[in-house]
Structure formats: C-alpha cells, structure tokens
Structure 1
Amino acid sequence: MTARERAAGLLRRSGGRLGGRLGRLGGRFGDRGSGAAAVLVFALLFLALAAFVVDGGMSISQRERAADIAEQAARYAAQDIDESALRAGRGSAPINYENCTARARAYMAEAGMSGADVAASHCTDASGPRQVEVEVRLTYRPVLTGLFYKGDLTVHGTSKAESRTG
C-alpha cells in the first residue's frame, strides 16, 4: 500500500473530521501577524509626535537663547561710550559704534557660541548715537527630526540697548 492510499483511507475513516479540524485550526491561527501592521503604524505615529514635541521645544529654547545672547551682547556693546565727550560735559555720551560688532562678538565668543555663528552675528544700524542693535544667529541640529532631515536649523535673535549716563 502506498502512502497516498494510506492517507486516503485515513481520511475516509475519519469521516471528514480531519479536514474539519484542520479548517478550524487554520481559522484560529489564520490572523497571525495582522496586528503587526497596526503596531507599526502607531509606532511611526508616536515617533512623529515625539519628534514634533522634542524638536519644537528645542526650537523655542534656541530662539530664547539667541534673544538672550543678543540682549546681553547689546548691553555689553553699549557700555563702550565716548569717555572724552562724557568728561567734557557735552550732554549724554554717545556709544562708540565702530567698536560695536567687535565687542558684541567678544561677548558671544565668551557665551560659548560657535565660530561660524559669531562671525555671522553683527551690529545693525540703531536709531541714534546712544543706541546699539545686535543681531545674533544661532545654529543647532534637531534631535529626532535630524533622523529624516539632514542639515542644521538656524534661529535669530535681535536686541537693542541704550546708553544712559547721569
């Protein structure tokens, strides 16, 4: 008797029950892996949401840091006043604007900014001889978005300072 004949005889003796049992087993385990697609979608959604929260918070933090450094650099640059005009008593002492960018960059280097950001930051035209305006560029690399987006992001901060004597 061949193997085929033995299998046919077994199937006849079981009265079709074997086929029914196999069908039920297949129905019970036929959905295996169907949840994997849902888990994958939710994992990607969670990663995108985490990237939005983490990198969005980092962007806000870096903008605040750029504004803070600009404010402090403007104050530092505004301290460089024309002392001879002050001693001569000719009213308020004007700021030595020609030294503004150098003094602001010196403060930025002390604050720990990178060399490229310090070089890109500068003083801009202020509204009078007693005011300076400093613009700061700050570059940072996003944490989670950096996995998909190659490159750095740049934020700017601007602040004015006024020299008051008296």
Structure 2
Amino acid sequence: MKVRRETPLAWRAVWRGRLDDRGSGAGAVIIFALVFMVLAAFVIDGGLAISQRERAADIAEQAARYAAQDIDRAALYDDSGGAAPINFGNCDARVRAFAREQGMSEPDVAASGCVTADAQRVEAEIRLTYQPVLSGMLFGGQLTVHGRSVAESVAG
C-alpha cells in the first residue's frame, strides 16, 4: 500500500480554497448602502416637507392679508372710528389670484381659498403639492401640505 504524500503547498491550497472569504464584505456593503439611502431619503425629503409646509403657511398668510385689504372704502373714510368692514364676498377669488401670482399650479390654486370670511376677518387656506426627491423615486406619488392663516380688520 502506497501512502500518498502531499506537498505542503498542495495542503495549503486545499485549505485556502475551503477558507476563502472573498466576497464576504459585499453583503455588508450592500446593507450599509441601503441604510445610507434610507437615511438620505429621510433627511432630504424631511427637509423638503418642512420647507413646503413653511412656504404654504407663508403664502396663506400673505393671501389672507391680500383678501382682507379689499375693504369698504366708504366705511373707511366714515368718521365712525371703527374698523372698516372687509368685502368678504370675493375672498376666494382674491386668495386664488394671489396664489396664481405666486406661481402655484392650477390644481393647487383651485384647491386653495377662504375657509371662513366675514366683515371683520378672513381665513385663507393654501394647498401645495410637491414631489419628494428620493422616496418619490422609490415609491412614486406626490405629497400635499396645507397652510392656513387669518387676517383681521382692526381700527387704527
């Protein structure tokens, strides 16, 4: 019976083939890349959402002021000393006109308007629709934010 003797180099090659760890880091790299993308989407799209909410609130505030500036001029020049009544009948039209001037899309302009209006105060609501950057690529769709503000007529 002959015993086959392997050279030390052949033995090392056999064990090196069994213990080969090439490619074992690829799984970790893929997982970390996915985690990074999720965190980036959270930061970028979260910041965009906050920015759009602030923009909607700002436009609503300015639109409410614009609508409240339509006052009864005869009552303004009257010597009664009270606040001039607002012509609130065209509040929706004034809010939408202001929204158009801000460059909003027509569906958003149509969804915006006065919530409540009377001779002393108007409350405007603005709707903004936007496309998220990273999560929009993954999940698609648009998000909507609302801004609301009140303007009052006061005696000066």
The answer to whether the superposition gives a TM-score over 0.5 is yes
Alignment-derived partner of residue 113 in structure 1: 104
Provide structure 1 residue ranges, at least 5 long, that are not aligned to the other structure.
Answer: 1-10
Alignment-derived partner of residue 93 in structure 2: 102
1:70 maps onto 2:60 in alignment: yes
TM-score, length-scaled by structure 2: 0.90
Cα offsets for 1:126-148 (capped at 9, x unmatched): 4x521110000000000000122
CA distance in 2, matches of 1:145, 1:74: 33
CA distance in 2, matches of 1:80, 1:70: 16
1:43 maps onto 2:33 in alignment: yes
Deviation of 1:87 after TM superposition, in Å, equals 2.9
TM-score, length-scaled by structure 1: 0.85
TM alignment of 1:114-133, pairs within 5 A: 114-126=105-117, 128-133=118-123
Cα offsets for 1:20-55 (capped at 9, x unmatched): 032143256x11111000000000000000000000
Alignment-derived partner of residue 26 in structure 1: 17
1:152 maps onto 2:139 in alignment: no
Which of these residues, 85, 95, 107, is aligned with residue 75 of structure 2?
A: 85
**DSSP-derived class of the 1:155 partner:** strand
Q: Which has the greater radius of gyration?
A: 1
CA distance in 1, matches of 2:31, 2:85: 63
CA distance in 1, matches of 2:104, 2:58: 12
Kindly tell me the number of residue pairs found equivalent between the two proteins: 152
One-letter amino acid of the structure 2 residue matched with residue 125 of structure 1: T
CA RMSD of aligned residues (A): 1.7
**DSSP-derived class of the 1:125 partner:** strand
One-letter amino acid of the structure 2 residue matched with residue 110 of structure 1: E
One-letter amino acid of the structure 2 residue matched with residue 123 of structure 1: C
Give the percent of matched residue pairs that are identical in Structure 1 and Structure 2: 61
Provide structure 2 residue ranges, at least 5 long, that are not aligned to the other structure.
Answer: none
